Amino acid sequence: MASLKILAVDDSPTMRRIIVNTLKRAGYDDVTEASDGKDALAKMKVEQFNFVITDWNMPEMDGLTFVSQVRSLDEFKDVPILMVTTRSVKDDIIEAMKAGVNNYIVKPFTPETLGEKIGQVLKSVGRS
Amino acid sequence: MMDKSIRVENSTKNIHAELRHLADSISQIIKGIRVAQEPIADSRNKVPQATEQLERVTQQTAMATHRVLDMVEAITGRDGEIETQMKELRRVLPSTYFRNNSRVKRIVERIGVNVSANQNDAYAIMDALQFQDITSQQVDHAISLLEQVENRLKDVMVGLQLDVSAESDVKRKERAYDPNAHFSSNSNEQSEVDKLLHNLTKEKQNN
Protein backbone atom coordinates (compact mmCIF):
# COMPACT_ATOMS: atom_id res chain seq x y z
CA MET A 1 0.00 0.00 0.00
CA ALA A 2 1.49 3.31 -1.09
CA SER A 3 1.74 5.88 1.68
CA LEU A 4 -0.38 8.75 0.50
CA LYS A 5 -1.14 12.17 1.88
CA ILE A 6 -4.53 12.82 0.35
CA LEU A 7 -6.47 16.08 0.01
CA ALA A 8 -10.25 15.49 -0.29
CA VAL A 9 -12.09 18.50 -1.75
CA ASP A 10 -15.90 18.65 -1.61
CA ASP A 11 -18.37 21.32 -0.49
CA SER A 12 -20.69 18.68 0.97
CA PRO A 13 -19.65 17.74 4.54
CA THR A 14 -21.55 14.47 4.05
CA MET A 15 -19.50 13.57 0.99
CA ARG A 16 -16.23 14.53 2.67
CA ARG A 17 -17.08 12.28 5.60
CA ILE A 18 -18.01 9.37 3.30
CA ILE A 19 -14.82 9.82 1.25
CA VAL A 20 -12.62 10.01 4.37
CA ASN A 21 -14.24 6.87 5.84
CA THR A 22 -13.97 5.00 2.53
CA LEU A 23 -10.29 5.97 2.21
CA LYS A 24 -9.57 4.90 5.79
CA ARG A 25 -11.23 1.57 5.16
CA ALA A 26 -8.97 1.14 2.12
CA GLY A 27 -5.94 1.85 4.31
CA TYR A 28 -5.39 5.53 3.49
CA ASP A 29 -5.36 7.21 6.91
CA ASP A 30 -3.70 10.51 6.09
CA VAL A 31 -6.55 12.54 4.63
CA THR A 32 -7.10 16.31 4.87
CA GLU A 33 -10.41 17.93 3.94
CA ALA A 34 -11.09 21.13 1.97
CA SER A 35 -14.53 22.65 1.31
CA ASP A 36 -13.86 24.13 -2.17
CA GLY A 37 -11.12 24.87 -4.67
CA LYS A 38 -10.01 28.06 -2.93
CA ASP A 39 -9.68 26.30 0.43
CA ALA A 40 -7.85 23.41 -1.27
CA LEU A 41 -5.32 25.68 -3.01
CA ALA A 42 -4.65 27.47 0.29
CA LYS A 43 -4.03 24.11 2.01
CA MET A 44 -1.78 22.89 -0.82
CA LYS A 45 0.39 25.97 -0.40
CA VAL A 46 1.16 25.15 3.23
CA GLU A 47 1.12 21.34 3.17
CA GLN A 48 2.44 18.86 0.65
CA PHE A 49 -0.13 16.40 -0.71
CA ASN A 50 0.64 13.62 -3.12
CA PHE A 51 -2.94 12.85 -4.16
CA VAL A 52 -6.03 15.02 -4.65
CA ILE A 53 -9.66 13.91 -4.85
CA THR A 54 -11.96 16.72 -5.93
CA ASP A 55 -15.62 17.42 -6.62
CA TRP A 56 -16.67 19.64 -9.55
CA ASN A 57 -19.63 21.77 -8.39
CA MET A 58 -18.46 23.89 -5.47
CA PRO A 59 -18.96 27.53 -4.47
CA GLU A 60 -16.08 30.03 -4.32
CA MET A 61 -13.92 28.00 -6.71
CA ASP A 62 -15.26 25.01 -8.65
CA GLY A 63 -13.32 21.83 -9.24
CA LEU A 64 -12.50 22.55 -12.86
CA THR A 65 -10.98 25.97 -12.06
CA PHE A 66 -9.14 24.40 -9.14
CA VAL A 67 -7.64 21.68 -11.37
CA SER A 68 -6.63 24.24 -14.00
CA GLN A 69 -4.96 26.40 -11.34
CA VAL A 70 -3.14 23.43 -9.83
CA ARG A 71 -1.84 22.42 -13.26
CA SER A 72 -0.68 25.95 -13.98
CA LEU A 73 1.59 25.99 -10.93
CA ASP A 74 4.95 24.30 -11.34
CA GLU A 75 5.08 22.86 -7.84
CA PHE A 76 1.70 21.07 -8.22
CA LYS A 77 1.56 20.26 -11.91
CA ASP A 78 2.33 16.55 -11.38
CA VAL A 79 0.06 15.92 -8.37
CA PRO A 80 -2.37 13.12 -9.30
CA ILE A 81 -5.98 14.37 -9.34
CA LEU A 82 -9.09 12.21 -9.27
CA MET A 83 -12.38 13.96 -9.93
CA VAL A 84 -15.46 12.59 -8.11
CA THR A 85 -18.65 14.27 -9.32
CA THR A 86 -22.30 13.81 -10.27
CA ARG A 87 -21.53 15.18 -13.75
CA SER A 88 -21.62 12.31 -16.22
CA VAL A 89 -22.15 14.13 -19.52
CA LYS A 90 -19.52 13.28 -22.15
CA ASP A 91 -18.54 16.92 -22.77
CA ASP A 92 -17.97 17.46 -19.04
CA ILE A 93 -15.64 14.48 -18.85
CA ILE A 94 -13.69 15.71 -21.88
CA GLU A 95 -13.45 19.17 -20.30
CA ALA A 96 -12.19 17.72 -17.01
CA MET A 97 -9.55 15.64 -18.79
CA LYS A 98 -8.44 18.71 -20.76
CA ALA A 99 -8.18 20.66 -17.48
CA GLY A 100 -5.79 18.00 -16.24
CA VAL A 101 -7.58 15.40 -14.10
CA ASN A 102 -5.96 11.95 -14.12
CA ASN A 103 -9.17 10.01 -13.71
CA TYR A 104 -12.89 10.47 -13.19
CA ILE A 105 -15.55 8.89 -10.94
CA VAL A 106 -19.29 9.44 -11.15
CA LYS A 107 -21.24 9.79 -7.89
CA PRO A 108 -22.64 7.78 -6.26
CA PHE A 109 -19.50 5.64 -6.27
CA THR A 110 -18.68 2.34 -4.64
CA PRO A 111 -15.65 1.87 -2.32
CA GLU A 112 -14.32 -0.64 -4.87
CA THR A 113 -14.41 1.98 -7.64
CA LEU A 114 -12.59 4.53 -5.48
CA GLY A 115 -9.91 2.00 -4.53
CA GLU A 116 -9.48 0.84 -8.14
CA LYS A 117 -9.24 4.39 -9.48
CA ILE A 118 -6.64 5.43 -6.91
CA GLY A 119 -4.63 2.35 -7.92
CA GLN A 120 -4.99 3.15 -11.64
CA VAL A 121 -3.94 6.77 -11.15
CA LEU A 122 -0.90 5.79 -9.06
CA LYS A 123 0.06 3.21 -11.69
CA SER A 124 -0.29 5.76 -14.50
CA VAL A 125 2.05 8.17 -12.73
CA GLY A 126 4.51 5.39 -11.82
CA ARG A 127 3.78 5.39 -8.10
CA SER A 128 2.09 2.02 -7.59
CA MET B 1 -73.89 71.84 -48.04
CA MET B 2 -76.54 70.49 -45.69
CA ASP B 3 -75.58 66.87 -46.40
CA LYS B 4 -71.95 67.62 -45.63
CA SER B 5 -72.73 69.11 -42.18
CA ILE B 6 -74.93 66.08 -41.29
CA ARG B 7 -72.10 63.73 -42.31
CA VAL B 8 -69.61 65.66 -40.10
CA GLU B 9 -72.03 65.55 -37.17
CA ASN B 10 -72.55 61.80 -37.61
CA SER B 11 -68.81 61.23 -37.80
CA THR B 12 -68.28 63.27 -34.65
CA LYS B 13 -70.91 61.18 -32.88
CA ASN B 14 -69.24 57.99 -34.07
CA ILE B 15 -65.81 59.17 -32.93
CA HIS B 16 -67.27 60.20 -29.62
CA ALA B 17 -68.87 56.77 -29.18
CA GLU B 18 -65.61 55.03 -30.13
CA LEU B 19 -63.66 57.17 -27.65
CA ARG B 20 -66.15 56.37 -24.90
CA HIS B 21 -65.85 52.69 -25.78
CA LEU B 22 -62.05 52.99 -25.68
CA ALA B 23 -62.18 54.76 -22.32
CA ASP B 24 -64.43 51.98 -20.96
CA SER B 25 -62.00 49.35 -22.25
CA ILE B 26 -59.02 51.13 -20.66
CA SER B 27 -60.96 51.41 -17.43
CA GLN B 28 -61.68 47.64 -17.59
CA ILE B 29 -57.99 46.91 -18.28
CA ILE B 30 -56.96 49.05 -15.28
CA LYS B 31 -59.47 47.19 -13.11
CA GLY B 32 -58.10 43.90 -14.46
CA ILE B 33 -54.54 44.96 -13.68
CA ARG B 34 -55.58 45.94 -10.16
CA VAL B 35 -57.22 42.53 -9.74
CA ALA B 36 -54.09 40.82 -11.14
CA GLN B 37 -51.72 42.87 -8.99
CA GLU B 38 -52.59 41.04 -5.81
CA PRO B 39 -51.99 37.46 -7.02
CA ILE B 40 -48.80 38.47 -8.88
CA ALA B 41 -47.41 40.26 -5.80
CA ASP B 42 -48.63 37.42 -3.60
CA SER B 43 -46.96 34.79 -5.80
CA ARG B 44 -43.74 36.80 -5.80
CA ASN B 45 -43.77 37.15 -2.04
CA LYS B 46 -44.35 33.43 -1.57
CA VAL B 47 -41.21 32.42 -3.49
CA PRO B 48 -38.82 33.24 -0.61
CA GLN B 49 -41.03 31.18 1.73
CA ALA B 50 -40.84 28.24 -0.67
CA THR B 51 -37.07 28.52 -1.05
CA GLU B 52 -36.68 28.75 2.71
CA GLN B 53 -38.73 25.56 3.13
CA LEU B 54 -36.58 23.79 0.56
CA GLU B 55 -33.43 25.00 2.33
CA ARG B 56 -34.82 23.52 5.55
CA VAL B 57 -35.41 20.18 3.81
CA THR B 58 -31.73 20.12 2.81
CA GLN B 59 -30.57 21.14 6.30
CA GLN B 60 -32.75 18.56 8.06
CA THR B 61 -31.76 15.82 5.63
CA ALA B 62 -28.09 16.71 6.19
CA MET B 63 -28.57 16.60 9.96
CA ALA B 64 -30.28 13.21 9.78
CA THR B 65 -27.56 11.92 7.45
CA HIS B 66 -24.83 13.03 9.85
CA ARG B 67 -26.66 11.35 12.72
CA VAL B 68 -26.70 8.09 10.74
CA LEU B 69 -23.01 8.61 9.87
CA ASP B 70 -22.25 9.05 13.60
CA MET B 71 -23.89 5.71 14.29
CA VAL B 72 -22.23 3.95 11.36
CA GLU B 73 -18.84 5.22 12.54
CA ALA B 74 -19.62 4.01 16.08
CA ILE B 75 -20.64 0.57 14.77
CA THR B 76 -17.57 0.18 12.55
CA GLY B 77 -15.39 1.43 15.43
CA ARG B 78 -16.81 -1.19 17.82
CA ASP B 79 -16.49 -3.91 15.17
CA GLY B 80 -12.85 -2.94 14.75
CA GLU B 81 -12.37 -3.23 18.51
CA ILE B 82 -13.97 -6.71 18.53
CA GLU B 83 -11.61 -7.81 15.75
CA THR B 84 -8.62 -6.50 17.75
CA GLN B 85 -9.87 -8.25 20.91
CA MET B 86 -10.30 -11.52 19.03
CA LYS B 87 -6.77 -11.28 17.70
CA GLU B 88 -5.60 -10.63 21.26
CA LEU B 89 -7.57 -13.65 22.47
CA ARG B 90 -5.86 -15.87 19.87
CA ARG B 91 -2.50 -14.43 20.94
CA VAL B 92 -2.92 -15.00 24.70
CA LEU B 93 -4.47 -18.46 24.52
CA PRO B 94 -2.13 -21.40 24.15
CA SER B 95 -1.79 -22.45 20.52
CA THR B 96 -3.35 -25.83 21.33
CA TYR B 97 -6.47 -24.24 22.89
CA PHE B 98 -8.63 -24.07 19.78
CA ARG B 99 -7.38 -27.45 18.60
CA ASN B 100 -8.65 -29.00 21.85
CA ASN B 101 -11.85 -26.95 22.00
CA SER B 102 -13.49 -27.24 18.60
CA ARG B 103 -16.81 -25.85 19.87
CA VAL B 104 -15.16 -22.65 21.16
CA LYS B 105 -13.23 -22.43 17.90
CA ARG B 106 -16.48 -22.56 15.91
CA ILE B 107 -18.05 -19.88 18.13
CA VAL B 108 -15.05 -17.55 17.73
CA GLU B 109 -15.05 -18.09 13.96
CA ARG B 110 -18.76 -17.34 13.86
CA ILE B 111 -18.21 -14.11 15.82
CA GLY B 112 -15.56 -13.13 13.27
CA VAL B 113 -17.92 -13.79 10.35
CA ASN B 114 -20.71 -11.77 12.01
CA VAL B 115 -18.41 -8.85 12.81
CA SER B 116 -17.23 -8.78 9.22
CA ALA B 117 -20.84 -8.91 7.93
CA ASN B 118 -21.84 -6.09 10.32
CA GLN B 119 -18.97 -3.96 9.04
CA ASN B 120 -19.89 -4.57 5.41
CA ASP B 121 -23.52 -3.66 6.10
CA ALA B 122 -22.50 -0.53 8.00
CA TYR B 123 -20.29 0.60 5.11
CA ALA B 124 -23.10 -0.18 2.65
CA ILE B 125 -25.35 2.17 4.68
CA MET B 126 -22.64 4.82 4.54
CA ASP B 127 -22.28 4.46 0.75
CA ALA B 128 -26.03 4.87 0.34
CA LEU B 129 -25.88 8.17 2.23
CA GLN B 130 -24.32 9.75 -0.85
CA PHE B 131 -27.95 10.39 -1.80
CA GLN B 132 -27.85 13.44 0.50
CA ASP B 133 -25.29 15.25 -1.67
CA ILE B 134 -27.28 14.42 -4.80
CA THR B 135 -30.69 15.47 -3.40
CA SER B 136 -29.22 18.70 -2.02
CA GLN B 137 -28.01 19.54 -5.54
CA GLN B 138 -31.46 18.75 -6.91
CA VAL B 139 -33.03 21.01 -4.25
CA ASP B 140 -30.53 23.79 -5.11
CA HIS B 141 -31.58 23.48 -8.74
CA ALA B 142 -35.27 23.75 -7.76
CA ILE B 143 -34.48 26.83 -5.61
CA SER B 144 -32.65 28.48 -8.50
CA LEU B 145 -35.66 27.88 -10.76
CA LEU B 146 -37.94 29.44 -8.12
CA GLU B 147 -35.64 32.45 -7.88
CA GLN B 148 -35.86 32.86 -11.65
CA VAL B 149 -39.68 32.79 -11.39
CA GLU B 150 -39.47 35.45 -8.67
CA ASN B 151 -37.32 37.67 -10.90
CA ARG B 152 -39.73 37.27 -13.83
CA LEU B 153 -42.72 38.14 -11.64
CA LYS B 154 -40.81 41.23 -10.54
CA ASP B 155 -40.24 42.15 -14.20
CA VAL B 156 -43.98 41.73 -14.88
CA MET B 157 -44.78 43.99 -11.92
CA VAL B 158 -42.32 46.63 -13.12
CA GLY B 159 -43.89 46.41 -16.60
CA LEU B 160 -47.35 46.94 -15.13
CA GLN B 161 -46.03 49.79 -12.94
CA LEU B 162 -47.02 47.89 -9.80
CA ASP B 163 -45.35 48.33 -6.43
CA VAL B 164 -42.18 46.20 -6.32
CA SER B 165 -40.81 47.65 -3.11
CA ALA B 166 -41.24 44.45 -1.09
CA GLU B 167 -37.82 42.82 -1.46
CA SER B 168 -37.09 39.24 -0.57
CA ASP B 169 -35.86 38.93 3.04
CA VAL B 170 -33.90 35.78 2.28
CA LYS B 171 -30.29 36.54 1.41
CA ARG B 172 -29.48 34.63 -1.75
CA LYS B 173 -26.51 32.36 -1.36
CA GLU B 174 -24.17 31.22 -4.07
CA ARG B 175 -25.35 27.85 -5.29
CA ALA B 176 -23.04 25.35 -6.92
CA TYR B 177 -24.92 22.34 -8.23
CA ASP B 178 -25.19 19.99 -11.15
CA PRO B 179 -28.65 20.53 -12.71
CA ASN B 180 -28.57 16.93 -13.97
CA ALA B 181 -27.53 15.35 -10.65
CA HIS B 182 -29.31 12.04 -10.16
CA PHE B 183 -28.98 9.02 -7.92
CA SER B 184 -28.17 6.02 -10.02
CA SER B 185 -27.12 2.68 -8.62
CA ASN B 186 -26.46 1.59 -12.18
CA SER B 187 -22.80 0.60 -12.51
CA ASN B 188 -23.11 1.01 -16.31
CA GLU B 189 -22.77 4.76 -15.87
CA GLN B 190 -19.23 4.40 -14.47
CA SER B 191 -18.45 1.78 -17.15
CA GLU B 192 -19.48 4.25 -19.87
CA VAL B 193 -17.26 6.91 -18.28
CA ASP B 194 -14.38 4.43 -18.14
CA LYS B 195 -14.82 3.57 -21.84
CA LEU B 196 -14.72 7.25 -22.72
CA LEU B 197 -11.64 7.81 -20.54
CA HIS B 198 -9.95 4.86 -22.20
CA ASN B 199 -10.66 6.27 -25.69
CA LEU B 200 -9.51 9.76 -24.69
CA THR B 201 -6.26 8.39 -23.27
CA LYS B 202 -5.70 6.35 -26.46
CA GLU B 203 -6.33 9.40 -28.65
CA LYS B 204 -3.91 11.45 -26.55
CA GLN B 205 -1.23 8.77 -26.89
CA ASN B 206 -1.72 8.58 -30.68
CA ASN B 207 -1.40 12.36 -31.14
Q: How far is A12 from chain B (nearest CA, A)?
A: 6
**Residue A125: Cβ within 10 Å count:** 14
Rounded average pLDDT over A91-103: 96
Q: Give the mutation candidate from B193, B201, B202, B203 for the A interface (greatest A CB count, under 10 A).
A: B193
Rounded average pLDDT over A16-34: 96
- For residue A16, what is the enclosing H or E element? helix A13-25
Better pLDDT: B100 or B141:
B141
Taking every pair of Cα atoms in chain B, the longest distance, rounded to a whole number of angstroms, is: 139
Rounded average pLDDT over B54-59: 94
Kindly give the residue spans of alpha helices, DSSP state H, lying in chain B.
Answer: 2-92, 97-100, 102-128, 131-159, 188-206
Rounded average pLDDT over A4-30: 96
What pLDDT sits at residue B178? Answer: 93
Judged by CB atoms closer than 8 Å, whether chains meet at A110 and B189 is answered as no
Report how far residue A1's alpha carbon sits from residue B23's, in angstroms, rounded to the nearest whole number.
86
Q: Which member of A22, A57, A88 has the closest CB to residue B189?
A: A88
| B197 near A CB under 8 A | yes
Q: Which member of B62, B123, B134 has the closest CB to residue A107?
A: B134
Q: Which member of A11, A97, A108 has the closest CB to residue B130?
A: A108
pTM for the model stands at 0.84
Better pLDDT: B6 or A57:
A57
Q: How far is A46 from chain B (nearest CA, A)?
A: 26
| Of A32-46, B6-20, B49-63, B108-122, minimum mean pLDDT range | B6-20
Q: How far is A90 from chain B (nearest CA, A)?
A: 8
> What's the pLDDT tens digit per position in B57-87?
999 999 999 999 999 999 999 999 999 999 9
What pLDDT sits at residue B39? Answer: 82
Judged by CB atoms closer than 8 Å, whether chains meet at A12 and B69 is answered as no
Report how far residue A30's alpha carbon sits from residue A27's, in angstroms, rounded to the nearest whole number.
9
> What's the pLDDT tens digit per position in B155-203?
888 887 777 766 655 567 788 999 999 887 677 889 999 999 999 888 8
Rounded average pLDDT over B28-55: 84
Asked, as a colleague might, if the bond just before B48 is cis with ω within 30 of 0, I would say no
Judged by CB atoms closer than 8 Å, whether chains meet at B133 and A25 is answered as no
* Residue A32 clears pLDDT 60, i.e. is over it: yes
| B196 near A CB under 8 A | yes
User: What's the one-letter identity of residue B197?
Assistant: L
What pLDDT sits at residue A74? Answer: 94
Computed over every residue of chain A, the mean pLDDT equals 95
What pLDDT sits at residue B2? Answer: 59
Task: Name, in order, each residue with C-beta under 8 angstroms of A46's C-beta and a sequence gap of 6 or more.
Answer: none
Judged by CB atoms closer than 8 Å, whether chains meet at A111 and B127 is answered as yes
What pLDDT sits at residue B187? Answer: 72
- Three-state DSSP class for A112? helix
- A81 φ/ψ angles, rounded to the nearest 5 degrees: -125, 130
Rounded average pLDDT over A94-113: 95
